[in-house]
Chains A and B, each alone.
Chain A
Amino acid sequence: MLAARTSASRATRAVRHFATAVDAAGVKVAAADNGEATSTVTFLVKAGSRYQNKPGVAHALTNFAFKSTGKRSGLATIREAELYGGVLSSSLSREHLALTAEFLRGDESYFVDVLSSFVTDAKFTRHELQEYVAPVCAAEAAAAASNPAARALELAHVLAFRNGLGAPLLSAEHDPVDVEAIKEYASTVFSKGNIAVLGTGISQEALTSLLEKSLNTLSASGAPSASASRYFGGETRVEGHGGPETVFIGFGTTGAPAAELAVLTAHLSTKPSIKWSQGLSPIAASLPAGATVEAVLLPYSDAALFGLLVQGATAEAVKAAGTAAVKALKDAANVKEEDLKRAVAKAKFFAASATDGKAGQVAVVGSKVLSGAQPSLDEALSAFEKVNASAVSNAVSSLLKAKPTYVAVGDIKTLPYADELGL
């Protein structure tokens, strides 16, 4: 019985691995078939806001996904996808644009064709921009602008990285995007070597043969390159109303994000493991009522932004919570062995549970495949084993050495300054 169970679990582990990435029609393809009832195909393009030559172009391109192409109109794409019972979505991050189709097994030839025809043959008509794309962009930008946490993180990226990763993620009203700029951006980013195709619930051979047929007209023009990220830091205060008082205390690193930062985030995270409890975070005990502190880690391919997002109803509560958060961060340099063990376990669990879902797998595997490395889910987890107390304390001291990124959004007359929090 025990032996049978072990072999069964080994079998599922073996299947979970993504096959070695191969080149098909100039794009890298990685797929894993675990026998799910539904399949997912994601085109991950290096076309995030970092690479845009004009602010807002990447955002507009994201919302242009699945509009008219040479093969079918936008309406036909929607209606046919509905008839097949599939879901089409596009999402944008600072580095990647992801075009995803989720569908029932057996419909892969249609959905791969929908994704490929957008990449190779999109029309980008002016009236679709005016009638469908621009209103969605404006609504998303307005929603982000009314969310103090999103505003604080956006400003933090500008202060921390200035160009590249600091470029605005969403398009803004004062930077109108025209259809020619979108066309030009699409023609540069949708090129060979700039796209990775990731499939789950579909075999690598099936996906490769479909892509070789549908992507053979993909251009080989040079993809936009981004200069390596540099960290600057700084302080800014922006008036805001209608939301909680918000302060973001950020620290940036350059180079590939280290596992120590994830452990540090897990150590400081105030999210309890059990419902209705306070949790064991060093910050949780000294939080005033109504104030929250969220440990944020935003990893990118050559940089990371680590920070503490402090929110509260009043500036006094934010000040008290912020002071506690900064103190906890400084104390993390001398973290106790048992606290570290707990943090490592927590970080590892979050990383592992994220890769259980398809979206998480695509996020972990996709950036690896795009950078040319072999995809592996277990590699990300094994890095946590090597984290020890001295590595964490080194990470904390190097974070604190650099100039912090400090953003205050809300009532700027009473919100604390960085030096008032002990930075």
Chain B
Amino acid sequence: MTIFGPLGPSLASSIKANRGIYKWVKPFADWYAGVAGYRKIGLRYDDLLVEERPDVQRALGRLTDREAYDRAFRFKRASQASIVHDDLPKAQWTPVAEDKRYLKPHVLNVVAEDEERRVWDTIAVQRKK
């Protein structure tokens, strides 16, 4: 996964760019997100992101206090669901409207910053002619 960056491989941007393919893929994607089961234990998609890497850790530090608290709460609830080998009651499932990418923008910012630092670290400076 590392070679694709912290968010993993994704064709989403090119699929979204093509309206025909998007219309064909969207129902399948919605079905897959439901069947994956993370919503049934109260998680959001960004909770599944691999967090054991420095860039995602830095992005996690940029969440607001409220977002960080909610994330910890979701993990606790999901662990409990795992212990009892059952899904949460349906009322506590994550609604589709709430399944937002709350962490992705921060991760992308961190990746852009790391890339900028790499560019500056390896830059070759030429004297102005």
Contact = CB atoms under 8 A, between A and B. Distances in A.
A22 B17 CA distance: 54
A213 interface: no
B113 interface: yes
B125 to A, nearest CB: 6
A130 B61 CA distance: 9
Contact of A75 (B58, B106, B120): B120
A73 B116 contact: yes
Interface string B46-64: 0000000000001001101
B23 interface: no
A126 interface: yes
B76 interface: no
B101 interface: no
Contact of A126 (B58, B62, B113, B117): B62
Interface residues of A, number: 9
B123 to A, nearest CB: 8
A46 to B, nearest CB: 33
Contacts of A126: 62, 64
Contacts, number: 21
Given A75-B120, A76-B120, A131 B61 contact: yes
A403 B47 CA distance: 63
A76 B61 contact: no
Nearest to B125: A83
Contacts of A79: 120, 123
B62 A75 contact: no
Nearest to A72: B116
A127 B62 contact: yes
Interface centre among B58, B61, B113, B120 (most CB of A within 10 A): B120
A130 B65 CA distance: 12
B57 to A, nearest CB: 12
Contacts of B120: 75-76, 79
Contacts of B109: 127
A130 B62 contact: yes
Interface string B78-114: 0000000000000000000000000000100100010
Contacts of B106: 127
Nearest to A128: B62
Interface centre among A76, A83, A127, A131 (most CB of B within 10 A): A127
Contacts of B58: 131
A130 B59 CA distance: 12
A127 B116 CA distance: 17
Interface of B: 58, 61-62, 64, 106, 109, 113, 116-117, 120, 123, 125
Given A75-B113, A127-B106, A130-B61, 18 more contacts: A73-B113, A73-B116, A75-B116, A75-B117, A75-B120, A76-B116, A76-B120, A79-B120, A79-B123, A83-B125, A126-B62, A126-B64, A127-B61, A127-B62, A127-B109, A130-B62, A131-B58, A131-B61
18 contacts: A73-B113, A73-B116, A75-B113, A75-B117, A75-B120, A76-B116, A76-B120, A79-B120, A79-B123, A126-B62, A126-B64, A127-B62, A127-B106, A127-B109, A130-B61, A130-B62, A131-B58, A131-B61
Interface of A: 73, 75-76, 79, 83, 126-127, 130-131
Which 4 residue pairs of A and B lie closest in terms of their CB atoms, listed nearest first?
A127-B62, A79-B120, A75-B116, A75-B117
